[in-house]
Chain A
Amino acid sequence: QKEVEQDPGPLSVPEGAIVSLNCTYSNSAFQYFMWYRQYSRKGPELLMYTYSSGNKEDGRFTAQVDKSSKYISLFIRDSQPSDSATYLCAMSRPSGYSTLTFGKGTMLLVSP
């Protein structure tokens, strides 16, 4: 079983839809969870960061962590064409040298 699993998509939605992006993981030692957004031919940019379980909201974005189910989600409300990108989840353990374990990314396409 891979440490982090993420559906590659593409996920196609109309403008204004609520988008749900998800990752599952197998290592219960992960404590820090991140979402990165990557536009085509660019480097990933940090979108959201959460520690342990719970929700975090930032504008149209909500990150959710359910450690009991080993499942994390990113919700995007009122999706815009500019949200079209690949979304990568990442996570790390509270020890070691700050290395992250990444999902392979989900491509999101928001049509006008």
Chain B
Amino acid sequence: DVKVTQSSRYLVKRTGEKVFLECVQDMDHENMFWYRQDPGLGLRLIYFSYDVKMKEKGDIPEGYSVSREKKERFSLILESASTNQTSMYLCASSLVSKGTRTDTQYFGPGTRLTVL
């Protein structure tokens, strides 16, 4: 079974703080993703990475950065947290099988971040 873990389930931070959200997957997946999920807006892709040290912007990258130094770990960084970044943050990973392409993503449990 694929396991995706996230460092915290709940996090409370203050405006202006630098925030690190960590994600680890144990299935040697190439691709990793960070989403935020808000009521009425659904899942929105922030950043993704298809290899170590590689990253691509998603739909809403502003105010965020990412780091992928090892294949199994993908970090989301809020450089200066703001109240509009209060949200549920979800990490996911996927394996692209050579030949039979599969895009199924496996999600972690989520981190509910509150910025005061």
Interface residues of A (CB under 8 A from B): 8, 32, 34, 36, 41-46, 49, 88, 90, 92, 94, 97-100, 102-105
Is chain B's interface secondary structure helix, strand, loop, or mixed overall?
A: strand
* Contact among B42, B48, B107, B112 with A97 in the assembled complex (CB-CB below 8 Å): B48
Note all chain B residues with C-beta closer than 8 A to A36.
107
* Contact among A43, A46, A104 with B90 in the assembled complex (CB-CB below 8 Å): A43
Note all chain A residues with C-beta closer than 8 A to B92.
43
Q: How far is the CA of A99 from the CA of B92 in the complex (A)?
A: 11
Q: How many A-B residue pairs have CB under 8 A?
A: 55
CB B31 to nearest CB in A, in angstroms, measures 5
Excluding A90-B105, A98-B94, A102-B43, 16 further A-B contacts by CB distance (< 8 Å) are: A8-B40, A32-B101, A32-B103, A41-B112, A42-B109, A42-B110, A43-B4, A43-B92, A43-B107, A43-B109, A49-B102, A88-B42, A98-B31, A98-B103, A99-B33, A100-B103
9 A-B pairs with least C-beta separation:
A104-B42, A43-B107, A92-B103, A98-B103, A102-B43, A43-B110, A43-B109, A44-B107, A97-B50
Q: Are B107 and A104 within 8 A (Cβ)?
A: no
Closest to A45 in B: B107
Fill in one digit per residue for B90-116: 1 if any A CB lies within 8 Å of its CB, else 0. Answer: 101010100001111111111010000
CB B76 to nearest CB in A, in angstroms, measures 15
> Which of B33, B40, B105, B112 has most chain A Cβ within 10 Å?
B105
| B54-96 CB contacts (< 8 Å) to partner A | 56, 58, 90, 92, 94, 96
| B16-53 CB contacts (< 8 Å) to partner A | 31, 33, 40-43, 45, 48, 50
Note all chain B residues with C-beta closer than 8 A to A41.
110, 112
CB B79 to nearest CB in A, in angstroms, measures 24
Note all chain A residues with C-beta closer than 8 A to B112.
41
Q: Can you spell out 30 A-B residue pairs with CB atoms less than 8 angstroms apart?
A: A8-B40, A32-B102, A34-B103, A36-B107, A43-B4, A43-B92, A43-B108, A43-B109, A44-B90, A44-B107, A45-B107, A46-B106, A49-B102, A49-B104, A88-B43, A90-B105, A94-B101, A97-B31, A97-B48, A97-B50, A98-B50, A98-B94, A98-B105, A99-B33, A99-B48, A100-B103, A100-B105, A103-B42, A104-B40, A104-B41
